Amino acid sequence: MEEVSADTIWEGWAARALAKVGAADFLSNLPQLCLPLPRAQEEPLADVATFDGPGPWDRTMVEVDVEVPKASATDGEPARRQMLIFSTNDYLNLSAHPAVRGASSKASLLFGMGPRGPALISGHTEYHRRLENALAELHKKEDCCVTATGFSANTAFLAALGGVATHNAASRRPAAQEKIAVFSDSLNHPATVEGLRMSEHMGQTLVYSYGHRNMENLDELLSNCPVEKKVVITDSVFSMEGDIAPMHDLVQLRKKHGFLFVVDEAHSTLLWGRNGGGIGEHFGIEDQIDVIVGAMSKSIGCVGGFVTGSKKWCDLVRLLAAVTVAKKEVGAGKKCGTESPSSCLVVGSEEATIRASKHMLERGFHITTITPPVVASDACRLRITLTAAHTLGDLRRLVAALSECVPGLDCAGDPIT
């Protein structure tokens, strides 16, 4: 099988899009705010303490007090009660880590709070650049662009992707053959789905949904698509199913069809790979992934999103953000011991799922209820997320409570029971 050099082809298209709008000159003149350098004792990252295992601060994130809704409270029951949280995405409990809290406190005292302005005007500092460099190194990519949220990272990248279609077209709007064909796993995150809907509405992309993890279906769709520019985008870990994309199979299809390979590592960064580089590092295929989209609100334990890839792709993401700003303002370690930290228990109807959720609350467990439109009306589910702070005892209590409210749930052979 002859390998198609997707890297070279797509880099060329991205370069032409940048050149057509004069992005090189625009981006080179963007300011980078240089905040006053702190004294040695004030440096936020000085004396960062690490620990061999979970500490008492970890439990503060999973053992919390919640207000009991009046409708479910009984006479004499206190207004607040303790719950075990199985609904957080803070998988490694880093938001509560003493070193993270200490560095955040130092930084806020030194530099204040708030973004000061959009990143493309006055909100991007040398500290943001340090973060981008660290994320690029983590995922073995040339460059990185940080965003406000994981959702905006998805939409920013897909807007940039649409820009490749627009700025490589012969006229102002891409013709059918000049559009980009994007193939998306049917269970990709709603942020990806929304971004694709936006680019399709703009007349830049043609979106195809392939069966969840169904490589035969994807291969057939790719083979029958006459459009030259093809992209495959997939979550690495699917948050609603808790399973993993067939990465090696996707790499083989990339070699066969020459598509741009985009992976959302939101639920695998820091959890997978020897250095925390995600599913790509775990399977040793980082060099086969062209663009990685991620979120800092999961295992990293803070706020924000990012896009990593080549410098051309990251510049293109920045460019699309810059154009938007210009129009509006300028001119005017630890790991969970499961395949995935999240798993879903399909209950069935919305009514049954809400009833099960209420039962779990009464038993002292806060878990996430997933109902339409996120899932089908007959596939409503309870989503359970594990963190490094949960104990085996916590899981046994959880399973026992689930067995009481989910018909047909048999945990007799489960190793944790």
pLDDT digits (tens, 9 = 90+) for 360-416: 988 989 888 888 877 888 999 998 988 888 889 999 999 999 999 987 775 444 444
Please, what's the b/e burial string for 242-252 (b: 16 or more CB within 10 A of its CB; e: otherwise)?
A: bbbbbbeebbe
pLDDT (tens digit per residue) in 202-256? 899 999 999 999 999 999 999 999 999 999 999 999 988 889 999 999 999 999 9
Query: What kind of fold does domain 6-34+114-324 have according to CATH?
Result: Aspartate Aminotransferase; domain 2 (3.40.640)
Q: Is 209 helix (H, G, I), strand (E, B) or coil?
A: strand
What are the structure tokens assigned to 281, written together?
């590092």
Query: Taking Cα atoms as reference points, which of 55, 122, 69 lies closest to residue 389?
Result: 55
Q: Residue 320: CB partners within 8 Å, gap ≥ 6? A: 156, 159, 160, 163
- pLDDT in the model for residue 414: 47
Contact 367, 360 (CB under 8 A): yes
| 26-30, 133-137, 323-327, 347-351: range with highest mean pLDDT | 133-137
What are the structure tokens assigned to 293, written together?
């989209």
- pLDDT in the model for residue 326: 46
Q: Does residue 79 carry a pLDDT above 80?
A: no
Tell whether the torsion through CA atoms of 90, 96, 98 and 102 is positive or negative. Answer: positive
- pLDDT in the model for residue 6: 67
Q: Which DSSP symbol is given to 109?
A: H
- Alpha-carbon gap, residue 134 to 144, rounded angstroms: 9
Q: Does residue 192 carry a pLDDT above 90?
A: yes
Contact 159, 316 (CB under 8 A): no
Arithmetic mean of pLDDT, 125-141: 91
- pLDDT in the model for residue 333: 40
Arithmetic mean of pLDDT, 91-101: 88
Note the CATH number of domain 342-404. 3.90.1150.10
Q: Which residues of 77-127 form beta strands (DSSP E)?
A: 80-85
The percentage of the chain sitting over the pLDDT mark of 70, rounded to a whole number, equals 83
Q: What H or E segment, with its residue span, contains residue 385?
A: strand 380-385
Contact 119, 132 (CB under 8 A): no
Please provide the average confidence, as pLDDT, over all residues in the chain. Answer: 84
Q: Does residue 25 carry a pLDDT above 90?
A: no
- pLDDT in the model for residue 55: 79
Arithmetic mean of pLDDT, 326-350: 63
222-236, 256-270, 324-338, range with the lowest pLDDT? 324-338
* pTM of the model as a whole: 0.82
Give 140-170 as a DSSP string. T-SEEEEESSHHHHHHHHHHHHHHHHHHTSS
- Alpha-carbon gap, residue 354 to 367, rounded angstroms: 11
Q: Is 350 helix (H, G, I), strand (E, B) or coil?
A: helix
Q: Which residues of 213-289 form beta strands (DSSP E)?
A: 229-235, 260-264
Which residue type, as a one-letter code, is found at position 292? Answer: I
Q: Residue 264: CB partners within 8 Å, gap ≥ 6? A: 154, 188, 189, 191, 192, 233, 234, 235, 236, 292, 293, 294
Please, what's the b/e burial string for 57-78 (b: 16 or more CB within 10 A of its CB; e: otherwise)?
A: bbbebbeeeeebeeeeeeeeee
43-57, 193-207, 344-358, range with the lowest pLDDT? 43-57
Q: Does residue 75 carry a pLDDT above 80?
A: no
Using the structure block, give the residue that is written with the tokens 């699917």. 238
How far CA 323 is from CA of 83, 124, 144, 173, in Å, comes to 47, 16, 19, 18
| Residue 241 backbone dihedrals phi, psi, to 5 degrees | -110, -30
| Greater model confidence, 124 or 170 | 170
- pLDDT in the model for residue 77: 61
- Alpha-carbon gap, residue 192 to 206, rounded angstroms: 14
Q: Does residue 331 carry a pLDDT above 50?
A: no
Arithmetic mean of pLDDT, 189-209: 92
Which residue type, as a one-letter code, is found at position 77? Answer: E
- pLDDT in the model for residue 39: 75
- pLDDT in the model for residue 387: 85
| Greater model confidence, 22 or 262 | 262
Query: Any idea where the domains of the chain sit in the sequence?
Result: 6-34+114-324, 342-404
- pLDDT in the model for residue 332: 36
Which residue type, as a one-letter code, is found at position 382? Answer: L
Query: Taking Cα atoms as reference points, which of 5, 36, 30 lies closest to residue 325?
Result: 30
- Alpha-carbon gap, residue 15 to 334, rounded angstroms: 40
- Alpha-carbon gap, residue 31 to 119, rounded angstroms: 9
- Alpha-carbon gap, residue 12 to 234, rounded angstroms: 23
Q: Does residue 36 carry a pLDDT above 80?
A: no
